[in-house]
Amino acid sequence: MTVAEQTEKQLTIALAGNPNAGKTSIFNHITGTRQKVGNWPGVTVEKKEGHVRKEGRDLRIVDLPGTYSLTPFSIEEIVARNYILDENPDVVVVIIDASNLERSLYLATQIRELDCRVVFALNMADVARTRGIKIDADKLAELLDLPVVFTVGNKNEGIDALLRKAIELAESDHTPHQQRKVKYNKDLEKAIAAVQKVVVADLGDELPYAARWTAIKLVEDDKIVKERLLEKPTELSRQAFEEAARQRQLLMERFDEEPEILTTDERYGFIAGIIKEVHMTAIQQRVDISRNIDLVLTNRFVGFPIFILFIWAMFQATFTFGEYPVAFIETLVGGLSSGVNSILPDSLFKDLILNGVIAGVGSVIVFLPNILILFFCIAIFEDTGYMSRSAFLMDKIMHLIGLHGKSFIPMLMGFGCTVPAIMATRTLESEKDRILTILITPFMSCSAKLPVYIVLAGTFFGARAGTVIFSIYILGIILSIVTGRLFRSTLLKGVDAPFVMELPPYRVPMVKSLLIHMWDRSRIFLKKMGKIILLGSIVIWALTAFPRHVNFSMDYDAEIQGAIQKYDAYRPVSGKEMQQGLEARRDQEVNSLKAHKAAERIEQSYIGRLGKWVTPVFEPIGIDWRGGVALLTGFVAKEIVVSTMGVLYAVDDEPDALERALASSTLTPLAAFSMMVFVLLYLPCLSTVAAIRRETGSYKWMTFSIVYTTSVAWVVSFIVYQGGRLLGYA
């Protein structure tokens, strides 16, 4: 291969490893923001891919799903194995938790059996050192005949050396030695050899995988491999299946165990031998900081209150720290609106730009800082390892509804966005568990609802806004538990599933990794700004702008002109201070007339007529017709609730216009809280509805979710509003 060919060649490097081994940190450090996120073909498991140029080569980095083995039980295991087998990456980098070598080597051993080029990255080397663990990397490389590199993924240590080793291996003619792989016991090897002989004789060039590996999988009765071989002519694969069944029967008669259990034991025996050669533990170990922290954070008495405190602090910080950048963006939006107002002549187009695009989109984009802060806090929970602890803490509570802590992971993801949270339920083994988790996940308050909370809580609750928002989130969790208990006892009866949640070591999060995670989630919000929210705002504007001819109850233009003339008549004979007072009173009266004119126009518009039609539905829960219309538009996307209120309530282009308009409207603090409760609980957005239909495979469950959540929203809001009035809070 010439130098020019090497320079132009793109190398594909796949990253594999156990969950919590630091694979994502390494992937983020290699690719930075140059990564695409989607789904693997045919499944909803997240696919990450990035491109980077290194050592004169274009590298395509593929982040495989985290898994503990390649046994095809879960979607993640099937995706990871099929990619390595079918796509043939140039190199597979196995990310190994150096502090837990034995567990990590099981997956690594299985990958080595696939006859691909492999590099071991002994990650979290700093954690291993802290625990007094020493690993002889040179000896490990010699025993397994592959490159081994120490890395600390969250500190970007060893990443360049890892990529250099991967490139060297990809461009070498190195062939893995079979002798350095797992050698099974005499009876297993005999069975594998017998099946391999028939496989080669039967299939020959038709064989899609390596002959020995195929034979091992047939002995293990691997369903995926059998299905793949069945794609070949039946007469070619029949004898191989028969020989595999015969050998399985012989092994079970001899050992009284399933062959797949025997192969697993043999692999662990192989790993145990390696561990003895390369793994040493210092006599004097340092204190295991993670374990000591867990004595407090996962304590059955104080762990849950601490978790609640952390969640409260997150939402308090989201509101408090976001206040200053929000005010800055509001000023920018107001300046843009004033500039457009002065440049464009009065026309329908000007009305569209000012009251449709800027008022609608601008009223939502101001909350971008709050969204960024929320996702930054969630990223801290994930990168430090606390997210797994929260699932562990919630396990007992989840058992109250017949689920386990693993189901709480999608619910936690629902704080960000409900769509990927519902997609994440595919990792649950039980179909009833999946459906139940899907039905209760919409009660988790996603980031799209946060702008609504901030507007209403900030307007009506002042310094207590953060606590009020926190109470809304807690209400969602409580109602999801009540709903789960109800459904588990009626529609989805079943037994509790067992649960084991691994608690990864605590790590100090790196700023770069936090920013990448924050941006990955926040750009979804920005995409909505340019598509769904913009389109929704234009539609809402059109419904408010037409019909153009309205029969007003008075001649507002004449009244405004009369007010101006009335106050101007006093100006020549009054002093400077009196003139300023007259001007202030004139502006107040003029603005009041303009506001009444705008309100009357909107009431007689198409959207006003729609609002009057739905008023009987929302009036018992304290929401006026404007709020009712805003809630109806929230079916498309919850952010549109704010943009709709921006069009219906805001009457000028000054900062805090929406808040001031809301404060002077018929809404009371109790009604505002009732509206927040309704937004929390009512029907999911259009994207979530589509995800429910796709993941349940049923229009029945999709329709049920819409009807149930909306019914619960109205009933709970009714109780909140009418109960509050009875207690004298109206």
Side chain identity at residue 367, one-letter code: F
218 vs 77, more confident: 218
Name the residue among 653, 650, 519 with its Cα closest to residue 33: 519
Q: Which fold has domain 3-179?
A: Rossmann fold (3.40.50)
What's residue 552's pLDDT? 79
In what order do the strands lie in the sheet containing 118-123? 35-39, 46-54, 57-63, 10-17, 91-97, 118-123, 148-150
Distances (CA, A) of 217 to 116, 196, 224, 700: 17, 10, 9, 40
Helices 465-489 and 303-343, axial angle in degrees (round to 10): 120
Residues 195 and 400: their CA atoms lie apart, in Å, by 49
Provide the b/e sequence for 104-140 (b: ≥16 CB within 10 Å): bbbbbbbbbbbbbbbbbbbbbbbbbbbbebebebeeb
Residue 309 has pLDDT above 80, yes or no: yes
Report the SS3 class of residue 219: helix
Side chain identity at residue 247, one-letter code: Q
205 pLDDT band (50/70/90 cuts)?
low
Tens digit of each residue's pLDDT (9 = 90 or more) over 330-351: 888 888 888 888 898 888 888 8
284 pLDDT band (50/70/90 cuts)?
very low
Residue 18 has pLDDT above 80, yes or no: yes
Q: Average pLDDT in the 53-81 region?
A: 84
Distances (CA, A) of 612 to 22, 235, 247, 647, 670: 56, 72, 76, 17, 22
Distances (CA, A) of 194 to 71, 264, 398, 639: 22, 20, 49, 63
Residues 68 and 19: their CA atoms lie apart, in Å, by 7
Mean pLDDT is highest, among 236-240, 430-434, 482-486, 664-668, for 482-486
Residues 702 and 688: their CA atoms lie apart, in Å, by 10
Report the 10 Å Cβ neighbour count for 573: 8
State percent of the chain over pLDDT 70: 86
The pLDDT mean for the chain works out to 81
What's residue 232's pLDDT? 64
Tens digit of each residue's pLDDT (9 = 90 or more) over 191-202: 999 988 888 887
Residues 538 and 644: their CA atoms lie apart, in Å, by 10
6 pLDDT band (50/70/90 cuts)?
very low
Q: Average pLDDT in the 638-667 region?
A: 74
What's residue 576's pLDDT? 62
What's residue 711's pLDDT? 95
Q: Which of 307-316, 443-452, 496-505 has the lowest mean pLDDT?
A: 496-505
SS (H, E, C) 404-432: CHHHHHHHHHCCCCHHHHHHHHHHCCCHH
Looking at residue 210, the DSSP 8-state letter turns out to be -
179 pLDDT band (50/70/90 cuts)?
low
DSSP string spanning 353-394?
A: IIIIIIHHHHHHHTTHHHHHHHHHHHHHHHHHTHHHHHHHHH
Name the residue among 387, 384, 377 with its Cα closest to residue 154: 384
Residue 609 has pLDDT above 80, yes or no: yes
φ/ψ of residue 600, rounded to 5: -70, -40
What's residue 445's pLDDT? 86
Report the 10 Å Cβ neighbour count for 700: 10
Planar angle of CA 86, 89, 92, nearest 5 degrees: 115
CATH topology of 3-179 equal to that of 186-281?
A: no
Residue 283 has pLDDT above 50, yes or no: no
Q: Which of 36-50, 57-71, 132-146 has the lowest mean pLDDT?
A: 36-50
What's residue 4's pLDDT? 45
Handedness of CA 678, 681, 687, 693 (dihedral sign): negative
Residues 504 and 291: their CA atoms lie apart, in Å, by 10
Tell me how far apart the terminal alpha carbons of the chain are, to the nearest angstrom.
80
Q: Average pLDDT in the 213-236 region?
A: 79
What's residue 625's pLDDT? 86
φ/ψ of residue 198, rounded to 5: -70, -40
Tens digit of each residue's pLDDT (9 = 90 or more) over 521-577: 677 767 766 677 778 778 878 887 888 787 877 887 888 888 777 766 666 555 566
Planar angle of CA 398, 43, 107, nearest 5 degrees: 75
Contact of 225 with 217, CB cutoff 8 Å = yes
162 pLDDT band (50/70/90 cuts)?
very high
Report the SS3 class of residue 13: strand
721 pLDDT band (50/70/90 cuts)?
very high
709 pLDDT band (50/70/90 cuts)?
very high
Residues 306 and 299: their CA atoms lie apart, in Å, by 10
1 pLDDT band (50/70/90 cuts)?
very low
503 pLDDT band (50/70/90 cuts)?
low
> Quick one: 94 exposed, middle or buried, by C-beta within 10 A (0-12, 13-18, 19+)?
buried
Structure tokens at 626: 């404007």
Contacts of 151 by beta carbon, 8 Å cutoff, 6+ apart: 22, 26, 95, 121, 122, 123, 125, 157, 158, 159, 161, 162
Dihedral angle computed from the Cα positions of residues 336, 342, 346 and 348, in that order, rounded to the nearest 10 degrees: -10
Name the residue among 123, 122, 154 with its Cα closest to residue 138: 122
Q: Which long-range contacts (CB under 8 A, 24 or more apart) does 34-38 make?
A: 35/61, 37/520
Residue 510 has pLDDT above 80, yes or no: no
Contact of 52 with 31, CB cutoff 8 Å = yes
Query: Between β-strands 57-63 and 46-54, what pairing exists: parallel, antiparallel or unpaired?
Result: antiparallel
Q: Which of 226-240, 443-457, 691-705, 707-721 has the lowest mean pLDDT?
A: 226-240
Each domain of the chain, given as residue ranges in start order, spans 3-179, 186-281, 287-546+605-730, 551-602
What's residue 2's pLDDT? 46
What's residue 201's pLDDT? 81
Q: Average pLDDT in the 158-179 region?
A: 83
Q: Domain 186-281: give its CATH architecture.
A: Orthogonal Bundle (1.10)
Residue 48 has pLDDT above 60, yes or no: yes
